Structure 1
């Protein structure tokens, strides 16, 4: 490999050095000293072993890709967090076990889809699971080709990493209108919270691309039906916004997602709240407080579709509503809510949009960030009370 790398890089006019034992500090110091005074480009290729010195980390490198404080003795976490929900994994496993043309593609994060080392190899051997490494661009382009040739292609990774492959999503997948399925893991305020790993703009990135259908489930049951629709239709690429954790309604969803239609969760009057994804439960709490303290039943709507508008519903709301509120756990600017505001722009209905401010937020508490951006039950209650 070193010879091939050397030849390739020298063709670019680069000096190349390879160090096999990247854990040898003396060799590292010697290598850095040898190049510290250079006056031209140089590439240092240093080989290291992930988890070096901790047997359990060396053995299970993927599980130790990232994590919090742990007990050195056995590697057990000092704190427990996150969800062990297997909803996404179960849906994918069922698809692979029942559709020999189905293939799942991932970019170096198979555990995010539930494919841990103990179950992954079976599907790799079958040719039904391809991990392209940290190369999201390759993942999307390959998925598009598989879908074009009759395969059922599903690709997914954590939401922040999909920004790397915007070009392939737009040109390779959506321009060709190939029916691959994109699973966007942990988007929004409840996803990752480091400024280099935030996904507060997934709606802005995906919802405006022609041909792409971008769906936002609010429950486990909605996700399962959306996944079934996405992996059986052959008309368009479909993206599903996977929440950081699922809630269950206990009621099977039998919606026909080939038809763009929002769901009215609570029918009321005067005020209507459009609540994207995980914000639906929050909107219902606001509606409950309004009914208890003011005696008015307001409307709560689950958009489900983040691409396109349910024009029939928007027109119907004009008959007995004066105000529309929109809630989303992503960035406010150019988000879903502003599409609603644009539609009602020349009407008598007043629209108030709520979302996250435009900034590289980092190390934040999700609930606190929502409150800072006006999304608390008390704040929305007060707004509605003042505008009744």
Structure 2
């Protein structure tokens, strides 16, 4: 039997369907999303929750002319399927496939490439303002989740839009969760709106009565507005109305006939409108009711064959090691507190919250506030650890500058997802943190090579009296137990020599130590012995080791999993120039100065020349092999 989906090749095709066919279309879309995500991984719960809303938007509005901005945009799978990308949907989140987020390079129906929260309303207001200046007539809709309503920038946009009376429709998709359960006073406020019985009962009765009346011109419209104002006066105003928006809802976000009827009514109005929908994260999936959080980020059920790269055996993810280390330290020091911005699961702090609920702070999607809060906690003598993804810490740049560095407050920033994150792509890669942090005085920047070093660095950072940022990637930690390497204590600004050799040197930072050692082991079998050094710190940098390596070695290869602009390699080369050393011996090896696409982390590193095989090939062009293999302290 042909699917309704088979008839939809472009956005306008959905409007050829009967209203009664839309629920069946929603079932087909949900089945397709579940099938693809089970194989490719992705954001399952959020997408299943907005299938009905997305179908209604496409059915009522002219998506080929009107504009929809999606906050975060990880919930745009249905939108992709309905805008001509269904055939490519099985390539979701794969290298060279379609993105798991809205992507303006991918489709003209994605106005922005998004991945962060709090973005949809501001950009929608900008589009509306531009349309007013250019005389363009279209409807602009911003779809935001209740998690995004914890972002301050969302209210900045609402405040501006409501005051200027812009013709915009903001749809609040309220499923009580962003990634974790939404927190804060706004979450409680939205819950009050959902459950206010008098408001909803009166509104339902009046709507039922009004739907029976013929709408004939301005007098009746003015009368309806009077009734609406009277209703609000009876049960109290709300925040959105106070911000200048005409508030409608909450309504069932899975009732397609109701959604279509409501959107058609609101489409005719030219004023700031906020429509509040109640949806279920994971709607249509068996686990939606029992474990909606598990449906947020789903891993592939059946992994595709990947290019195998021989590296050292892996153990736990960095995130888990960080979380376990922090709990152990907190057991011994009751001054240690943890701060996160709506990421207790992603940063590994969920167990810390269970163990030390009074010492745990989840501020919602508010990275600026998270850093400011941490500063206040440090001011009174506590030792805060703020666990924030590298890409999201960018949002708190000014707070790191003023609240932390200028005050010299001892806050530890645990920067998870530093480097390539893989399938989430450009908006989530952590490629810029070294560059944007090392410009500040009074901050320590460090990166571990393995689990033991992460544990030691965290403990060391908690003894310092200045801000410290520890970066680590979204990957498993390598196991160096097969290598006979003596571990040296952490000392501020001091590197660690791992292997000795006279045929060249590699100075690697953080995650690239694993690659450097794997390449060095392979090269030693061909008679090329390298000195491999674990940099440990980029600020303060070990200028002594830089001088030694450039003086004694024929070449120095620098390695980092960070943008080539302003990162570790740049810091070393700047230091070499200041020391008056021969920089011609140096070869930087970093990620390209561009936004990297989504895909498998290992494959992306390989494409950037940061895999062991590529490093081996590069070193062979820099070094001359000896006629015999020399002894090395690496056992392979």
TM-score where L is the length of structure 1:
0.86
Q: Distance in 1 between matches of 2:611 and 2:427?
A: 26
1:99 corresponds to 2:321: no
2:476 counterpart residue number: 245
Aligned 8 A contact 2:421 2:428 in 1: no
From 582, 585, 603, give the equivalent of 1:368: 603
Distance 1:184 1:197, change over 3 A: same
Q: Distance in 2 between matches of 1:254 and 1:382?
A: 30
Aligned 8 A contact 2:609 2:615 in 1: yes
From 373, 381, 387, give the equivalent of 2:616: 381
1:134 counterpart residue number: 365
1:197 counterpart residue number: 428
1:26 counterpart residue number: 257
From 474, 495, 498, give the equivalent of 1:265: 498
Distance 1:88 1:302, change over 3 A: same
2:152 counterpart residue number: none
1:184 shift after superposition: 1.1
- SS of residue paired to 1:246: strand
Larger mean Cα displacement after TM superposition, 131-140 or 46-55: 46-55
1:90 corresponds to 2:321: no
Distance 1:286 1:142, change over 3 A: same
Q: Distance in 1 between matches of 2:374 and 2:573?
A: 35
Distance 1:246 1:380, change over 3 A: closer
Aligned 8 A contact 1:220 1:246 in 2: yes
1:215 corresponds to 2:446: yes
Aligned residue runs from structure 1 range 44-193, under 5 A: 44-54=275-285, 56-68=287-299, 85=317, 86-116=320-350, 120-124=353-357, 127-190=358-421, 193=424
Deviations 1:110-154 (A, max 9, x none): 11243447x744422xx1112112222221111111011101211
2:534 counterpart residue number: 302
Larger mean Cα displacement after TM superposition, 136-145 or 49-58: 49-58
Q: Distance in 1 between matches of 2:511 and 2:456?
A: 17
2:522 counterpart residue number: 289
Deviations 1:291-335 (A, max 9, x none): 332x34222111111223212122222332232211112211221
Q: Distance in 1 between matches of 2:341 and 2:522?
A: 44
Please provide the CA RMSD for this pair. Answer: 2.8
Distance 1:87 1:377, change over 3 A: closer
1:216 shift after superposition: 0.5
TM-score where L is the length of structure 2:
0.54
1:73 counterpart residue number: none
Q: Distance in 2 between matches of 1:272 and 1:61?
A: 50
1:17 corresponds to 2:219: no
Distance 1:212 1:62, change over 3 A: farther
1:6 shift after superposition: 5.3
Structure of higher CA gyration radius: 2
1:312 counterpart residue number: 544
**Structure 1 regions of 5+ residues with no counterpart?**
70-76
1:261 shift after superposition: 0.6
1:43 shift after superposition: 2.3
